[in-house]
């Protein structure tokens, strides 16, 4: 295309530029510029209290961040939490989707009910969850009565229990979405596939693993990717229930909580920026791995 | 003959089990809401000692206490102002951008879209600190501007809308162009009405995201006059067991009810909004 033709095209479709302009301008200001600022800050010690004290530290923040045992502890914590959370929601979500597919009446009512926690804010969910699972709360009361636990459990000061309990509360909030997504996937599977397999002698268990699960691959893939991107950035849940360093063993310290603590407790903006970049790279790697291994059959 | 009746009966039993399990699940979901409401009408000591029993007598102490301790009209006004501004801006600006990306073949469109797809995958944590530093230097912190202006567009919503608008026949747009309609006219008269379901999805997700957001207001609205309902509610979170027992349940009930009500009114749109959210 000649320069003249190009200009003609641009003039002809000038409205296109006008329409994308607000987005592009806002994105340059609040997306691209902060990205560069973030990278720039990683080379400095910068704090709000004395901005003039800004000191160049070279790769100091990077070296400190990559070798910070608390940061890697927080990475471990969030992965521990996410493995439990994803496992629970997938099993419960798929189980309920299968049950909903099997019934003929009230399906809509059930779906509506299961979806309610999704619209409730995480602050509310954590406040309720906190009371329900507290030592002396109703859930532990039932478990004591049934003899499943011997004495009340102070889960917020237990090394290995804090993250699973948070995962359990989050499961209550989010399984409804996964049910809706998985049910949509189930309903899209051609019933003839199941009939043909049944005629060939496959039992329900075999049909589940050989037909249902592979056909749900796009939905499961979507759920894994969304959880990978959002779940790894958990903050409110731990901020509300623990101190800024995630409890006495740092057992509930998540990467974002640690970044928040560095930025607003220690006033270490440069270091917090560096940790943010490292975390973003980790999330990108995990997402890329999911795309590499998970997207075989996605359209 | 007998074979089919056995099979039929077995299927029915399977259904009964399915209904029982689903009902059990429904109880697990609803019980906490029931717990909130029940405790919000209890006298203080009973909340602590009999949290799972119905109130011996129904009182409204909790509701009266939050009314006097929280500036509820202010909290609601702030939350509504934030959520509505962000939602309206997103529907309009994202709609514009999506229409241009889907139907106006301006030079440079494809690279722009490719860049957009690339940035969609960047985790938002990356922007947390630098954006805060930037907005702080601009003098926007604390203030609503710091949440509204950067939140006025969403790459994700543009992507969602573009996928929808692409399905509108291009001939329709071309015909209108030949008739001399302006691009703005085409957008308002053809695209907007035809993409109502997708715009509804964006509106619901944006509104809910803003109404339920805690982290954003925590960073940028750290001043009691600017608090949203979520920050107001957070004031009752405490490490002392039993403190605020009366207020907390009433506050949760008051703050959760509007959104749950909205959900019941628009439940199909809500569920479609979440089910539609899918990679291409």
- Let me know: does A165 contact A153? Beta carbons within 8 Å: no
Q: What is the reported pLDDT for A92?
A: 96
Percent of chain B with pLDDT over 90: 43
Q: What is the reported pLDDT for B217?
A: 94
User: In this complex, do B133 and A121 lie within 8 Å of one another by their Cβ atoms?
Assistant: no
In this predicted structure, the answer to whether residue B280 has a pLDDT above a threshold of 50 is no
How many residue pairs bridge chain A and chain B with CB atoms within 8 Å of each other? 241
- Cβ contacts of residue B235 below 8 Å, gap of 6+? B70
3-state secondary structure chain A: CCHHHHHHHHHHCHHHHHHHHHHHHHHHHHHHHHHHHHHHHCCEECCCCCHHHCEECCCHHHHHHHCCHHHHHHHHHHHHHHHHHHHHHHHHHHHHHHHHHHCCCCHHHHHHHHHHHHHCCHHHHHHHHHHHHCCCCHHHHHHHHCCCCCCCCCHHHCCCCHHHHHHHHHHHHHHHHHHHHHHHHHHCCCHHHHHHHHHCCCCHHHHHHHHHHHHCHHHHHHHHHHHHHHHCCCCHHHHHHCCCCCCCCCCCCCHHHHHHHHHHHCCCHHHHHHHHHHHHHHHHHHHHHHHHHHCCCCC
In this predicted structure, the answer to whether residue A293 has a pLDDT above a threshold of 80 is no
Residue B276: which pLDDT band, with cuts at 50, 70 and 90?
low
Characterize A19-32 residue by residue with b for buried, 16 or more Cβ atoms within 10 angstroms of its Cβ, and e for exposed. Answer: bbebbbebbeebbe
Enumerate residues 46 to 65 of chain B having a beta carbon within 8 A of any beta carbon in chain A. 51-52
What is the domain count for chain A?
Answer: 2
pTM confidence score: 0.88
CA distance B23 to chain A (A): 8
Considering only CB atoms, A272 lies closest to which of B14, B51, B129, namely B129
A102 and A215 belong to one structural domain: yes
Q: The CATH number of the domain where A281 resides is what?
A: 1.10.3720.10
User: In this complex, do B25 and A96 lie within 8 Å of one another by their Cβ atoms?
Assistant: yes
Summary mean pLDDT of chain A: 89
**Hey, is the C-beta of B34 within 8 angstroms of any chain A C-beta?**
no
Which residue in B11, B54, B65, B114 sits closest to B248, CA to CA? B65
Burial of B100 (C-beta count, 10 Å sphere; 0-12/13-18/19+): buried
B50-92, pLDDT tens digit by residue?
A: 777 788 888 888 898 888 888 889 999 999 999 999 999 999 9
Percent of chain A with pLDDT over 70: 97
Residue B239: which pLDDT band, with cuts at 50, 70 and 90?
low
A140 is a domain residue? no
Q: What is the reported pLDDT for A166?
A: 96
CA-based radius of gyration for chain A: 25
Residue A20: which pLDDT band, with cuts at 50, 70 and 90?
very high
In this predicted structure, the answer to whether residue B3 has a pLDDT above a threshold of 60 is no
**Main-chain phi, psi angles of A55, to 5 degrees:** -125, 135
User: In this complex, do B248 and A100 lie within 8 Å of one another by their Cβ atoms?
Assistant: no
- Let me know: does A275 contact A258? Beta carbons within 8 Å: yes
A215-237, pLDDT tens digit by residue?
A: 998 888 888 888 888 899 999 99
Terminal CA-CA length for chain A: 34
Of all helices (H) and strands (E), which one includes residue B232? helix B229-234
B110-152, pLDDT tens digit by residue?
A: 999 988 888 877 778 888 888 998 999 899 989 999 999 999 9
Q: What is the reported pLDDT for B1?
A: 42
Grouping H, G, I as helix, E, B as strand and the rest as coil, residue B236 is coil
CA distance A255 to chain B (A): 10
Q: What is the reported pLDDT for B7?
A: 54
Considering only CB atoms, B128 lies closest to which of A26, A232, A276, namely A276
- Chain A partners of B66 at a C-beta cutoff of 8 Å? none
User: In this complex, do A30 and B271 lie within 8 Å of one another by their Cβ atoms?
Assistant: no
User: In this complex, do B123 and A16 lie within 8 Å of one another by their Cβ atoms?
Assistant: no
Q: How far is CA B137 from the centre of its chain?
A: 30
In this predicted structure, the answer to whether residue B101 has a pLDDT above a threshold of 90 is yes
Q: How confident is the model over A266-280, as a mean pLDDT?
A: 91
Q: What is the reported pLDDT for A122?
A: 92
- B43: alpha, beta or left? (left if phi > 0; alpha if psi -120 to 50): beta
- Chain B partners of A217 at a C-beta cutoff of 8 Å? none
Considering only CB atoms, A41 lies closest to which of B15, B133, B274, namely B133
**Hey, is the C-beta of B29 within 8 angstroms of any chain A C-beta?**
yes
- Chain A partners of B260 at a C-beta cutoff of 8 Å? 116, 119-120
In this predicted structure, the answer to whether residue B9 has a pLDDT above a threshold of 60 is no
User: In this complex, do A122 and B214 lie within 8 Å of one another by their Cβ atoms?
Assistant: yes
User: In this complex, do A16 and B105 lie within 8 Å of one another by their Cβ atoms?
Assistant: yes
Topology annotation, domain B71-235? MetI-like fold (1.10.3720)
A212 and A184 belong to one structural domain: yes
A1 is a domain residue? no
User: In this complex, do A172 and B28 lie within 8 Å of one another by their Cβ atoms?
Assistant: yes
A48 and A162 belong to one structural domain: no
**Hey, is the C-beta of B260 within 8 angstroms of any chain A C-beta?**
yes
How far is residue A282 from each of residues A288, B118, B258, measured CA to CA in Å?
A: 10, 16, 38
User: In this complex, do B215 and A236 lie within 8 Å of one another by their Cβ atoms?
Assistant: yes
User: In this complex, do B230 and A121 lie within 8 Å of one another by their Cβ atoms?
Assistant: yes
Q: How many CB atoms lie within 10 A of CB A103?
A: 15
CA distance A26 to chain B (A): 7
Nearest Cα residue in chain A from B99: A19
A178 and A105 belong to one structural domain: yes
CA distance B163 to chain A (A): 15
CA distance B224 to chain A (A): 18
Query: What angle, rounded to 10 degrees, do the helices at B109-120 and A14-27 form?
Result: 30
Burial of A285 (C-beta count, 10 Å sphere; 0-12/13-18/19+): exposed
A133 is a domain residue? no
Residue A55, strand partner residues:
A45
Percent of chain A with pLDDT over 90: 49
User: In this complex, do A119 and B100 lie within 8 Å of one another by their Cβ atoms?
Assistant: no
A214 is a domain residue? yes
B15-42, pLDDT tens digit by residue?
A: 889 999 999 999 999 999 998 888 889 8
User: In this complex, do A34 and B134 lie within 8 Å of one another by their Cβ atoms?
Assistant: yes
A79 is a domain residue? yes
Summary mean pLDDT of chain B: 86
**Hey, is the C-beta of B121 within 8 angstroms of any chain A C-beta?**
yes
Q: What is the reported pLDDT for A73?
A: 96
In this predicted structure, the answer to whether residue A299 has a pLDDT above a threshold of 50 is no
CA-based radius of gyration for chain B: 25
- Chain A partners of B51 at a C-beta cutoff of 8 Å? 131, 137-138
Query: Where in the sequence is the domain holding A240, given as residue range(s)?
Result: 68-121+157-294
User: In this complex, do A34 and B131 lie within 8 Å of one another by their Cβ atoms?
Assistant: yes
Q: How confident is the model over A145-159, as a mean pLDDT?
A: 89
Q: What is the reported pLDDT for B2?
A: 46
User: In this complex, do A16 and B125 lie within 8 Å of one another by their Cβ atoms?
Assistant: no
A42-93, pLDDT tens digit by residue?
A: 998 887 767 777 788 888 899 999 999 999 999 999 999 999 999 999 999 9
Q: How confident is the model over A253-275, as a mean pLDDT?
A: 92
Nearest Cα residue in chain A from B237: A127
A179 and A289 belong to one structural domain: yes
- Let me know: does B103 contact B165? Beta carbons within 8 Å: yes
**Hey, is the C-beta of B182 within 8 angstroms of any chain A C-beta?**
yes
Q: How far is CA B150 from the centre of its chain?
A: 17
Q: What is the reported pLDDT for B8?
A: 54
CA distance B217 to chain A (A): 12
A36 and A76 belong to one structural domain: no
Q: How far apart are CA A288 and CA B2, in angstroms?
A: 56
Domain boundary among A42, A62, A82: A62
Residue A1: which pLDDT band, with cuts at 50, 70 and 90?
low
A108 and A32 belong to one structural domain: no
A285 and A166 belong to one structural domain: yes
A6 is a domain residue? no
Q: What is the reported pLDDT for B59?
A: 86
User: In this complex, do A119 and B36 lie within 8 Å of one another by their Cβ atoms?
Assistant: no
**Hey, is the C-beta of B158 within 8 angstroms of any chain A C-beta?**
yes
**Main-chain phi, psi angles of A291, to 5 degrees:** -65, -40
Q: What is the reported pLDDT for A162?
A: 95
- B123: alpha, beta or left? (left if phi > 0; alpha if psi -120 to 50): beta
Q: How confident is the model over B179-188, as a mean pLDDT?
A: 89
Nearest Cα residue in chain A from B184: A15
Strand pairing of A55-56 and A44-45? antiparallel
Residue A44, strand partner residues:
A56
Q: What is the reported pLDDT for B66?
A: 86
B226-236, pLDDT tens digit by residue?
A: 999 999 988 88
CA distance B31 to chain A (A): 10
Q: What is the reported pLDDT for A167?
A: 96
A192-210, pLDDT tens digit by residue?
A: 988 899 898 888 889 999 9
- Chain A partners of B278 at a C-beta cutoff of 8 Å? 181, 218, 222
- Let me know: does B184 contact B96? Beta carbons within 8 Å: no
Q: How far apart are CA B260 and CA B270, in angstroms?
A: 11
């Amino acid at each position: 295309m000649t320069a003249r033709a190009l200009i003609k095209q641009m003039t002809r479709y000038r409205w296109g530029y006008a329409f994308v302009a607000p987005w592009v301008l806002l994105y340059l200001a609040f997306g691209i510029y902060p990205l560069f600022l973030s990278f720039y800050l990683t080379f400095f010690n910068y704090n709000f209290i004395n901005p003039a004290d800004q000191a160049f530290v070279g790769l100091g923040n990077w070296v400190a961040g990559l070798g910070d045992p608390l940061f890697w502890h927080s990475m471990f914590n969030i992965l521990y939490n996410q493995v439990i959370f994803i496992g629970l929601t997938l099993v419960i979500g798929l189980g309920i989707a299968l049950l909903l597919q099997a019934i003929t009446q009230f399906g809509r009512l059930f779906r509506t009910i299961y979806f309610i926690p999704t619209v409730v804010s995480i602050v509310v969910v954590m406040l309720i969850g906190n009371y329900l699972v507290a030592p002396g709360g109703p859930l532990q009361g039932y478990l004591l009565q049934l003899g499943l636990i011997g004495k009340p459990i102070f889960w917020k000061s237990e090394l290995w229990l804090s993250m699973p309990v948070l995962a359990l509360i989050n499961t209550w909030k989010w399984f409804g979405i996964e049910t809706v997504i998985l049910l949509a996937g189930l309903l899209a599977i051609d019933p003839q596939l199941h009939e043909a397999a049944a005629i060939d002698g496959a039992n329900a268990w075999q049909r589940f693993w050989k037909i249902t699960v592979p056909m749900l691959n796009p939905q499961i893939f979507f759920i894994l990717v969304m959880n990978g991107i959002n779940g790894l950035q958990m903050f409110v849940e731990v901020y509300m229930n623990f101190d800024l360093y995630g409890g006495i063993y740092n057992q509930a310290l998540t990467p974002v909580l640690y970044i928040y603590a560095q930025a607003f407790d220690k006033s270490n903006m440069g270091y917090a920026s560096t940790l943010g970049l490292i975390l973003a790279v980790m999330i990108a790697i995990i997402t890329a791995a999911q795309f590499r291994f998970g997207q075989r059959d996605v359209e | 003959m007998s074979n089919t009746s056995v099979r039929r009966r077995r299927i029915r039993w399977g259904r009964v089990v399915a209904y029982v399990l689903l009902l059990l699940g429904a109880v697990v979901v609803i019980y906490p809401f029931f717990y909130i409401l029940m405790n919000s009408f209890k006298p203080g000591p009973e909340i602590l000692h009999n949290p799972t029993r119905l109130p011996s007598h129904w009182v409204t102490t909790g509701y009266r206490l939050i009314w006097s301790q929280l500036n509820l009209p202010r909290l609601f006004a702030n939350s509504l102002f934030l959520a509505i501004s962000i939602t309206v801006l997103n529907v309009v600006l994202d709609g514009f951008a999506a229409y241009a990306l889907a139907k106006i073949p301006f030079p440079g469109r494809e690279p722009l879209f490719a860049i957009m797809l690339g940035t969609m995958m960047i985790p938002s944590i990356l922007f947390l600190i630098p954006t805060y530093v930037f907005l702080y230097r601009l003098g926007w912190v604390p203030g609503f501007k710091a949440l509204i202006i950067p939140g006025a567009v969403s790459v994700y919503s543009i992507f969602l809308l573009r996928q929808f608008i692409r399905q509108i026949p291009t001939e329709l747009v071309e015909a209108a162009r030949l008739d001399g309609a302006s691009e703005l006219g085409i957008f308002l008269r053809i695209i907007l009405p035809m993409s109502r379901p997708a715009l509804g999805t964006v509106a619901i997700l944006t509104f809910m995201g803003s109404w339920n957001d805690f982290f954003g207001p925590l960073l940028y609205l750290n001043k009691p006059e600017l608090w949203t309902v979520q920050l107001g509610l957070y004031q009752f979170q405490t490490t002392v067991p039993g403190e605020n027992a009366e207020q907390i349940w009433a506050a949760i009930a008051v703050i959760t009810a509007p959104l749950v009500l909205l959900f019941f009114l628009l439940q199909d749109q809500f569920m479609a909004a979440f089910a539609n959210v899918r990679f291409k």
